[in-house]
Structure 1
Amino acid sequence: MKFEVLILGNSSATPMFERHPTAQIINFNEQIFLIDCGEGTQMQLHRYGVKSNKISHIFISHLHGDHYLGLVGLLSSMNLHGRFSDLHLYGPEPLIDIINIQLKYSETYLQYNLIFHPTNTNEEEFIFQNNTISVKSFPLKHRVPTTGFRFDEAPRNASIIRERIVNMNIPTVFLQQLKRGVDCVDIDGTVYKASELTKPAPPSRSYAYCSDTRAFESYLSSVQNVDLIYHESTFLHEMVDRAIETFHSTSLEAAQVAKQVGAKKLLLGHYSARYRDLSPLLAEAKLEFDNTELSLEGNWYNV
């Protein structure tokens, strides 16, 4: 089952060196989610072959422009492209006022339902859940109210041992029950034991998105044991005073967070425009947490 992240933008504050403001796509088994929507996001979607009208949910971390100024344009383009399906939007409570006033004065009337869900910037909460995936928001520590987001795959079913099924001529109607661990009995009284006909389910996967924030203990419990964590790494640690002043993190601090929470892999991002060459950021993080990569625009990363 597909679970992957596409980086659309990874720059902080301003576009620079062909890097765009923050935005990324989550593809979970063809359910398409957008996290943040900086300027140029819809152009990046087009560039990397993602149809905007396939996006079902949009998550906005906070109201600094490099994380949401592309949103109204994207919503308008979806309208022009004939969207009729509901679109769910999650973000700080004032976001809906910003959107409504721009739609009002441009006399834009959406043909689809825009369903707004205000996020809680004070405590962790589940904001979306279906049979296959759940999403929770959690507070971060930035200059304005900000949340991160964690995506958790639902528990997966066991895998059928195909050769045993074929050899025993088990009715196909029993297969889904066996995958769920339920023993089955046919009309002749033959018992088919799930424990003998299935392999254990693979572990569920998880992805955490830590937007603009100081590296701080308050959110560590929300991202424990995550498979892949994206953590902002705006500065090298030699600029930690600037990071503290602006409520950002250094690449070394991002690596320390990944190590503390037991993450399997770290993606760096939200790079300051002062860095054309990103390799020093990667080298610094690897000193603390070896399984680190730079997030690069246009790249898909498996969770």
Structure 2
Amino acid sequence: MFAVTILGNNSALPTPERHPTAQVVTCNDQLVLIDCGEGTQVQLVKYKVRRSRIKHIVISHLHGDHYFGLIGLLNTLSMLGRTEPLFLYAPPELQQIIQLQLDCGASVLNYPFTFVPLLPENTGVIIREKDFEVSYFPTRHRIPCYGFAFNMQRRKRKLVPEQAVAYGIPAAFYSRLQEGEDYQQKDGSIVRNDWVTLPPAPGKRYVYCADTVYHEEIIPQIQNADLIYHETTYLHDQVIKATERFHSTSVQAATLAKMANVKRLLVGHFSSKYTELQPFLDECRPVFPNTDLAEEGVSYII
């Protein structure tokens, strides 16, 4: 299972219907939380996301709409008796902010907590798990800001049953063939794995582009991705304001998706000035047809 669930799709100011940025990426049995705007833990409960399965949290940058919900979530996990380790990846200043908040409340997290600073000189892979890895890369915003690329690996090889039968391999060994093992026959001869299996299907890629002004240097990071999330804070008639504030417009996000040959585009981080979101699709789809709104509570399969 590889999917992203939108918890918040708004920019700086929350509205009764839309919340600041937060997403959960499901990678089989693990969850990774991307950003943690105000109200994230309420959204986790509302959409029945199992907080105990969150092992990694990544924070793109230190504008409040991307992390003001974090200390509440960390404290809640402690009060719920969490014992599993939690890893937080964020700009280095956040470590001091969290510690100050805990110290002022005489609070202690009752689970192993590891902070990993995101530094511009160390971009690359930060999370390596059995089925997936996550890397980070810089975007262009008013303060240091990073996007995150999720690569989901399909490790099991594809069995060719008729070949396995022809070599007399018992069915009980098939799962080991899919893991890449060779088979030794009774006479000691070896049936090589690639004689009876095919390579695994290509992996899937999801890229979260975070807050950024339009810049084509990001294209190598999103090239050929199965799904990308790109901010569209403004409609395109506000392109000057978007540029001044280091944000992007609907048409700009769609243009990058087209140039990078991605398969699907999600747009979000909408300014609270907009009460209707359909105009974002109306502007994106003529440029890049396979565009959808990042709707809160919806899970998008990758």
Q: Which amino acid aligns with 1:219?
A: I
What corresponds to 2:261 in structure 1? 262
Q: Distance in 2 between matches of 1:293 and 1:215?
A: 19
What corresponds to 1:88 in structure 2? 87
What corresponds to 1:30 in structure 2? 29
What corresponds to 1:240 in structure 2? 239
Deviations 1:209-239 (A, max 9, x none): 0111012123222222111000001111110
Q: Which amino acid aligns with 1:202?
A: A
Per-residue deviation at 1:274? 1.3
Q: Distance in 2 between matches of 1:183 and 1:45?
A: 44
Q: Which amino acid aligns with 2:260?
A: V
What corresponds to 2:191 in structure 1? 192
Per-residue deviation at 1:280? 0.8
Deviations 1:162-218 (A, max 9, x none): 465467652456435532555433122455343443244211001000111012123
Q: Distance in 2 between matches of 1:121 and 1:251?
A: 27
Q: Which amino acid aligns with 1:239?
A: Q
Give the SS at the match of 1:117: strand
What corresponds to 1:47 in structure 2? 46
Q: Which amino acid aligns with 2:12?
A: A
Check conservation: 1:6, 1:25, Cα contact below 8 A.
yes
Number of positions where the alignment pairs a residue of Structure 1 with one of Structure 2: 302
Check conservation: 1:139, 1:146, Cα contact below 8 A.
yes
Give the SS at the match of 2:88: strand
Correspondence list, 1:143-222, <5 A = 143-162=142-161, 165=164, 169-171=168-170, 174-181=173-180, 183-189=182-188, 191-222=190-221
Q: Please report the TM-score for the alignment, with normalisation by the length of structure 2.
A: 0.94
Please say which of residues 196-205 and 24-33 is displaced more in the overlay: 196-205
Give the SS at the match of 2:35: strand
Q: Distance in 2 between matches of 1:199 and 1:283?
A: 43
What corresponds to 1:300 in structure 2? 299
Give the SS at the match of 2:120: coil
> RMSD over aligned Cα, in angstroms?
1.8
Check conservation: 1:38, 1:66, Cα contact below 8 A.
yes
Q: Which amino acid aligns with 1:259?
A: K
Check conservation: 2:167, 2:191, Cα contact below 8 A.
no
Give the SS at the match of 1:37: coil
Give the SS at the match of 2:147: strand
Deviations 1:64-95 (A, max 9, x none): 00000000000000010001111000000100
Deviations 1:97-140 (A, max 9, x none): 11000000011111111100001235632111123211111000
Gapped regions of structure 1 (runs ≥ 5)? none
Q: Distance in 1 between matches of 2:257 and 2:78?
A: 40
Q: Which amino acid aligns with 1:279?
A: Q
Q: Please report the TM-score for the alignment, with normalisation by the length of structure 1.
A: 0.94
Q: Distance in 2 between matches of 1:74 and 1:178?
A: 43
What corresponds to 2:100 in structure 1? 101
Q: Distance in 2 between matches of 1:166 and 1:48?
A: 46
Stretches of 4+ aligned residues off by more than 6 angstroms: none
Please say which of residues 173-182 and 63-72 is displaced more in the overlay: 173-182
Check conservation: 1:156, 1:203, Cα contact below 8 A.
no
Q: Which amino acid aligns with 1:223?
A: I
Gapped regions of structure 2 (runs ≥ 5)? none
Identity between Structure 1 and Structure 2 (%):
44
Cα 1:155–1:120 shift into 2, 3 Å = farther
What corresponds to 1:14 in structure 2? 13
Check conservation: 1:124, 1:222, Cα contact below 8 A.
no
Please say which of residues 45-54 and 245-254 is displaced more in the overlay: 45-54
What corresponds to 1:227 in structure 2? 226
What corresponds to 1:141 in structure 2? 140
Q: Distance in 2 between matches of 1:183 and 1:82?
A: 44
